[in-house]
A = this chain, B = another copy of it.
Amino acid sequence: LRKENIMTDELRVNSDRMFAAFNELASIGATEAGGVHRPTFSEGHLAARQWFQEEAQQSGLEFRMDGAGNHSAVLVGTTDNALTLLLGSHLDSVPDGGRFDGALGVIAALEVLKTIQENGVHHKFRLEAIDFTDEEGTLVGLLGSAALTGHLHLELLQNPRGGRENLIEGMMRAGLSEESIWSARRPKESLAGYLELHIEQGKRLERSGIQIGVVYANVGISSYRLSFIGRADHAGSTLMQDRLDASLGASSFTLAAREVVMKEFPNCVVNVGNMQFTPGAFNIVPARVDVSLEFRSAEDSEFDRLDTALLALAYTEAKRFDLDFKADFRGRHKPTPMSDSVQRAFVESCDALGLTHTSLVSGAGHDGQSFAGICPMGMIFVPSVNGTSHSPYEFTKWEDCVNGANVLLQAVLRLAK
């Protein structure tokens, strides 16, 4: 046993093999700008899915597809009735996206299984590298992981953000149906955990020169449509002091919201992603401005305080310009803490590998969220150059990709020992 410990501590992924696989995958749905275009069930995405199946089978892993279209490569456990430890990410991309987002996590998961398999290491779990369907939300968002964990609701399928027709047509192209999706659900008793390697999509690691980010929580996301309501008036004959100009409330709120978050909620973010002016003409004082507001926090009580602070601020700014105000709630995902046990396994692995690491929050949504309350889960980040993401210019140094894969490998070995 002691000999095996030494052996597994020294185990590393095969960087060259992983690099070859990464580049093969990056050539599928490749764009001229150097990224990939693989929206869910598009031609490029279907080709990438086909590649995954062949890669799994050629590696001697067991290929499996469930009713939600999730593709898996399985390394059966060395004990009977083994629980499943999932390692995964996604092969779909945003339109005109990058080569690393999602793909790196899938490639690393496959490489971890190959490394464990070829070294004949004992592992108590059934190990499964999984490519989740529609993480990015071309159709629904986190579709595959929500189906697997039982978090999918009928309403999400009936009114999907990508449009119902696109969902049904896309599923048909992948040989799936609305009914088949429900069969993807697995009993939570069968799951040992979920681990994911992903690019950071931010600048924190790069700026601090730290190699690995161990995620301690996925942020909660809340969104509102805020309406500042004044009065349409002739923009020539109405004196400035006689106007009820909706643009003033919307503008003032936009600036003040940023100030409040930066000063009072330094761990949170806020975004005014859109404003719609009514009637929206050069020569008419805006009667109404609808503001698309989104904000994120990693911690429940802070999230609630932020919600209260921003809505109070919007009301105050509206009244400052004698405007009416309405807030239309648009949705909320609670913050999702990562499991302590998985974070510990990642930290110990970084230390064993001599990699610098820090604990951080994930500002983006990820499939890990779907596993909240289902089984232990955790994520690690590797640095994104310039923080760029969802762009053809998305880039992570290969050395960092390999570091991430080795941390994933070592964490699996620690958990599955």
Chain A interface residues (CB < 8 Å from chain B): 200-204, 219, 221, 223, 233-242, 245, 247-248, 250-252, 254-255, 258, 261-262, 269-275, 277, 280-286, 292-294, 296, 330, 362-365, 387, 389-390
Contacts and interface: CB of A to CB of B under 8 A. Distances in A.
B236 A365 contact: yes
A364 B280 CA distance: 18
B274 A283 contact: no
A271 B245 CA distance: 9
Q: How many monomers of this chain does the complex have?
A: 2
A260 to B, nearest CB: 11
Contacts of A282: 223, 271, 273-274, 292-294, 330
A72 B81 CA distance: 97
B285 A273 contact: yes
Nearest to A219: B236
A280 B274 contact: yes
Nearest to A331: B282
Given A255-B255, A258-B240, A235 B269 contact: yes
Contacts of A245: 258, 271
Residue with the highest number of chain B CB atoms closer than 10 Å, among A234, A262, A269, A389: A234
A251 B259 CA distance: 13
A324 B343 CA distance: 42
6 contacts: A219-B236, A234-B363, A236-B363, A240-B269, A251-B251, A271-B282
A248 B254 contact: yes
Given A248-B258, A254-B247, A387-B242, A202 B272 contact: no
Given A248-B254, A255-B248, A239 B269 contact: yes
A368 to B, nearest CB: 14
A290 to B, nearest CB: 11
Given A201-B238, A236-B365, 18 more contacts: A203-B239, A204-B239, A223-B282, A233-B387, A234-B389, A236-B269, A236-B363, A237-B387, A238-B269, A239-B269, A250-B251, A251-B251, A271-B282, A271-B285, A273-B277, A273-B283, A274-B277, A275-B277
B237 A364 contact: yes
B272 A247 contact: yes
Nearest to A390: B234
Contacts of A284: 271, 273
A269 B233 CA distance: 12
Contacts of A239: 202-204, 269
